[in-house]
Amino acid sequence: MARDLRPATLIAMVPTRLRTRGWLLAVAFVAVLALGILIGGHPTWLPSSLRSVFVSQTSQERQVQSVLNLIAQNYYRPVNTQQLLDNGLESAVDGLDPYSHYFPPALYKSFQNQTNPQVTGIGVDVNPEPVGGGIQIEEVFPGSPAAKAGLAHGDIILAVDGRSLDGKTVNEGSTLIRGPAGTAVELTIRRGGETHKVRIVRQTITVPVASSQLLHYQGHKLGYLQFAQFTEGSAGQLRSQVRRMLDDHAAGLILDLRDNPGGLLAEAVAAASIFIEDGTIVTTRGRNQPTHVYVAEGNAIASRIPMVVLVDHGTASSAEILTAALQDRGRAKVVGTHTYGKGVFQEIQPLSNGGALDITVGEYFTPNGRNLGGGGTKRGAGVTPNVDAPADAADPDRALRVAERTLASELGPG
């Protein structure tokens, strides 16, 4: 690549909701706060043509402070003015477009946890609803403390350190299970009709976002890869799964990006580089950002190995970048439905209060020069599949079967 992507640069995930847009007060506050810090309230050294502008904005700052003081003094109950400001800033930045956000300190920490998949615990994924008076294990992460202790899919955690989970929410139970790395927790487990206790030492775990399975279709071995999200280090996980499938003699690969909401741009480039040896992956342009062409990083698998990418309307952002790169470069056929249609990217700037500003700074373009959005921050058509395979609630495996058939046709008779 021509330059390293800053760790703070990312493709924001598709938002699940939009907050209200009561933001005029906050816009004024943000602008005058920055200027107040810059000029220290003494703009006399500025040229007269600019001085009136800063004096006016300083007056706005005083107006905002006056409003905050009146609220603090006269509102019918005590008000947390910092929270009031945070709420105002959130609404102000949300009003820019669906992807820009202001993160207060606590929310920014949660956001960082989303893009850094390391967590402290025992290493299981659980059913979101209580089952049988406890928490049911859906998945045990390979190599995790839970896996080493023999926990398995379907086990029900009934108690944590002697405290029953009956009547508790899954979130309450999960909070009891989590704890600092190196500390122990005793779980009461029910498997079938038997109950037993197990002691597990918690540790820091990297949550897997890539998995693989060898499929057999009409005499062919097909490597099926599921890739859930572009978090830190996720491309490395995907590369390991690709290597596992090739070691198992898979003749072709299906990359399932359905419902992948995106994530870090650097990981999208690294993931594309698993399959594309050289050349353009994506180009970014912005009003205050120089045009930058991201190219493949090398060390790709053999180009003779055919690929299919499986997508749907939930395939967004970085997942669309990867899909479009593979399609434009003729490296894979795309099967499924039109993707989400996001054509812009965001950059996150940490703030001195521990929060962060995450705003849209530019657009991205596929190797063939396509922008997948609908103009600016509007949703567009996204990536058009080479082979249509609409989702079917009555037959959830239909799209995968179409992908298998499409890939097998590239391989010839089995």
Is the Cβ–Cβ distance between 355 and 106 less than 8 Å?
A: no
What are the φ/ψ torsions at residue 121 (nearest 5 degrees)?
Answer: 175, -150
Element (H, E) at 401: helix 398-411
* Residue 198, beta-bridge partner list: 187
Q: How far is CA 190 from CA 54, 136, 196, 211, 318, in A?
A: 68, 9, 7, 27, 41
Q: Give the pLDDT of residue 62.
A: 84
Q: What is the CATH number of domain 210-348+356-411?
A: 3.90.226.10
Q: What are the residue boundaries of the structural domains of the chain, listed by start?
A: 19-97, 119-206, 210-348+356-411
3-state secondary structure of 216: strand
Is the Cβ–Cβ distance between 251 and 313 less than 8 Å?
A: no
Q: For domain 119-206, is the CATH number 3.40.47.10?
A: no
Q: Give the pLDDT of residue 115.
A: 64
* Per-position DSSP letters for 230-287, written without gaps between them: B-TTHHHHHHHHHHHHHHTT-SEEEEE-TT---B-HHHHHHHHTTT--SSEEEEEEET
Residue type, 399: A
Q: How far is CA 30 from CA 18, 36, 61, 340, 342, in A?
A: 21, 10, 9, 32, 28
CA 347 to centroid of chain Cα atoms = 14
In 3D space, the residue among 401, 253, 268, 242 whose CA is nearest the CA of residue 324 turns out to be 268
Q: How many CB atoms lie within 10 A of CB 181?
A: 13
**How, if at all, do strands 210-217 and 203-206 pair?**
unpaired
Question: pTM score, two decimals?
Answer: 0.74
Pairwise CA distance, residues 1 & 239, whole Å = 19
Alpha-carbon torsion, ordered 348, 351, 353, 356, to 10 deg: -10
Q: How far is CA 252 from CA 134, 157, 165, 307, in A?
A: 42, 40, 46, 6
3-state secondary structure of 309: strand
48-74 vs 81-94: helix axis angle to the nearest 10? 130
Pairwise CA distance, residues 340 & 357, whole Å = 24
Pairwise CA distance, residues 332 & 301, whole Å = 13
Task: Please tell me the number of Cα atoms within 13 Å of 355 on its side-chain side.
Answer: 16
Block means of pLDDT (10 residues each) for the chain, length 414 residues? 33 34 39 37 44 58 85 91 86 92 82 70 88 91 92 96 93 90 96 95 89 95 96 94 97 97 95 98 93 97 97 97 98 98 94 91 96 94 96 89 96 79
In 3D space, the residue among 172, 181, 184 whose CA is nearest the CA of residue 119 turns out to be 181
Q: Give the pLDDT of residue 127.
A: 86
* Per-position DSSP letters for 121-182, written without gaps between them: ES-EEE-SS-BTTBEEEEEE-TTSHHHHTT--TT-EEEEETTEE-TT--HHHHHHHH---TT
Q: Give the pLDDT of residue 56.
A: 56
CA 369 to centroid of chain Cα atoms = 24
Q: Which residues make Cβ contacts (< 8 Å) with residue 385, sequence separation at least 6? A: 311, 334, 335, 336, 337, 338
Q: How far is CA 371 from CA 129, 350, 366, 381, in A?
A: 40, 28, 7, 10
Is the Cβ–Cβ distance between 322 and 310 less than 8 Å?
A: no
CA 230 to centroid of chain Cα atoms = 6
Query: Scanning the structure block, which residue is given the tokens 């705003």?
Result: 359
Is the Cβ–Cβ distance between 272 and 228 less than 8 Å?
A: no
Is the Cβ–Cβ distance between 86 and 103 less than 8 Å?
A: no
Q: What angle do CA 387, 393, 397 make, to 5 degrees?
A: 55
